[in-house]
Chain A
Amino acid sequence: MEIVVCVKPVPESETRLRAASDGMSFDPEGVKFVLAGYDESAVEQALLLKEAVPGSKVHAVAFGPPPRTEEVLRAAIALGCDLATWVEGPAEPSPDPMTAARALARALGPVPHDLVLCGKQAGDDESGLVAAALGELLDIVDFGFVVDLRWDAARSCLTFRRGTEAGEEHWEAPLPAVIGLQQAWNDPRTAKLPAILKSRRAPIAKVPWTPFPPDVGRSVPEKFELPAPRTGARLIEYKTPLEAAEKLVRILREEAKVFP
């Protein structure tokens, strides 16, 4: 099975967010970028499938600026991906998810891809657009919010579950397919030191990026705002539990107006 896994560098989750000096976007200066959380699950899933289906290869693909994009591709190689392709994107302004999806699709077109795995969304912009857009651009089916993805060798199909408003859906799908994965149902492995050292010299195929024509839609960042620091809860003073309950209900109805 030729498995492609799309990865994206995102700021480490403990990063202290700040706006760039022009106030238009997130300031990446001095920020440590890592493999996005959902993408980490996607890499783990790709490696599990590779181990389960003999003769499989895992190909990590990323779109973005240097050096962080190259770094997450090397992290994916250290975890066990066989090949890596880097679509070199511009640093500023940081491209939007649809531009990323179109660039990735252009790079994936000529590459074998039975199964394309993505995290369901990245932890920074949280758009969740790439998997579905790739499905359309590659003209194959896609499913988001997927957990418990397995390969049924006897029937040559993928099986998986996905949570929707209707309940938990159970699915069977033939290849090729694009799958957007939920996090935390598998326990992603960590890379071992020899593999990390070896990944530094591993070849990465580079694909140049050319902008799309102006009639292709895109979004441009204009403002990045941090919320006013929360001042902490207004504590309700009370003598009896009943008094606490009465005061809270009155506040929620009359002041916060959150229930009738």
Chain B
Amino acid sequence: MTPRVLVVGELAGGHLSGASLEALGSALSLAGAASGVVGFLAGSGARAASARVAPAVVRAATDAGADTILVGGTTFGRDLIGRLAARWNAAAAAGVTELRAEGGGVRVRRPVFGGRATETRRLEGPRRVLALRPHAFPLPPEAPVEVRVSPVAVEETTAALRSAKRTAVSAVSSGSGPGLTDATIVVSGGRGLRSPENFRLIEELAQSLGAAVGASRAVTDAGWRPTSLQVGQTGKAVSPQLYVAVGISGAIQHLVGMVSSRVIVAINSDPSAPIFKVADYGIVGDLFEVVPALTAEVRRVRGL
């Protein structure tokens, strides 16, 4: 029996978010065919109130005869699945990197202990709710299908009626690039840059790659860059396709936040720096020479 899947789509800037597209792609492979997949589109304001969205999603899933709900691994998705699973009496798993249907049930793999281990779990019971880890699944191929759209009435639960309100949203201070936890490529700088002015070398390399900028704790503690850019145990955990660590020695507190990246590159003048133990590729050398050369080379091959 293949699962019948409802995918919760999240709008970002008027488009389906990348995380939602990944959820759609994995739903198509899980259900085996598009006919087993139902979409639920949450409006852009929905991010604000999972207490309001959850009853509608559960209603839509029940009406569609779905037994599985998939969401992307954004803050909205991560907040939503706990409510969905509780309301639907379902099993739940977050941060999923692999999933497959087996004998009417679903098995998932997910990193645990900050990426230091991986666990496989079997989800038992008739219903399940899953949030995927960002960038762990490919985007689905574009294939136009005919879609039937039906509105869903929102049940007003006690929780939903309470008047919590968002008073302001300020832009993330990392500038114009992609968000740190969302990015496919992250370039991070550390103490090896020696001064806040030199951090522009990191920003230029990131810009050439279309990457987000990150920083080690030494950099944010020194006030060179805001704490919102900190990668590590006490900052953000990232798992991009490519992580470039520049002038970062690789303290365990930093490694915990980036070790589950798919490919890690380290640039550091100290060949004994611990970062080279977790990196896939390393350049031992003077970052003030290597990084500008790298930025120029990336610009050249990308025709920038």
Contacts and interface: CB of A to CB of B under 8 A. Distances in A.
B168 interface: yes
Contacts of B282: 233-236
Contacts of B193: none
B266 interface: yes
A195 to B, nearest CB: 25
B95 A248 contact: no
A123 B123 contact: no
Interface stretch (B46-54, B146-154, B195-203): B46-54
Given A234-B282, A259-B242, A172 B167 contact: yes
Given A226-B117, A245-B298, A258-B185, 15 more contacts: A130-B82, A132-B81, A135-B51, A165-B17, A167-B170, A173-B162, A183-B234, A217-B128, A219-B91, A219-B93, A224-B117, A225-B119, A236-B283, A256-B280, A256-B281
Interface stretch (A42-50, A63-71, A94-102, A200-208): A94-102
Contacts of A163: 75, 172, 228
A55 B274 CA distance: 50
Contacts of B93: 127, 219
Contacts of B50: 132, 135, 142
10 contacts: A132-B82, A136-B54, A143-B164, A165-B182, A166-B47, A173-B162, A219-B124, A221-B120, A227-B116, A238-B283
Nearest to B217: A184
Interface string B44-71: 0001011100100000000000000000
A163 to B, nearest CB: 7
Interface string B81-96: 1110111111111110
A87 interface: no
Given A171-B165, A259-B242, A217 B51 contact: no
B114 A126 contact: yes
B81 to A, nearest CB: 7
Nearest to A214: B125
Contact of A164 (B75, B119, B128, B164): B75
B105 to A, nearest CB: 10
A130 B158 CA distance: 19
Nearest to B54: A136
B78 interface: yes
Interface residues of B, number: 99
A137 B159 CA distance: 10
Contacts of A191: none
A253 B185 CA distance: 13
B100 interface: no
A169 to B, nearest CB: 5
Given A217-B90, A246-B297, A259-B242, A166 B169 contact: yes
Given A98-B85, A168-B169, A236-B282, A17 B266 contact: no
A220 B122 CA distance: 5
A98 B90 CA distance: 8
Contact of B162 (A140, A225, A227): A140
B33 interface: no
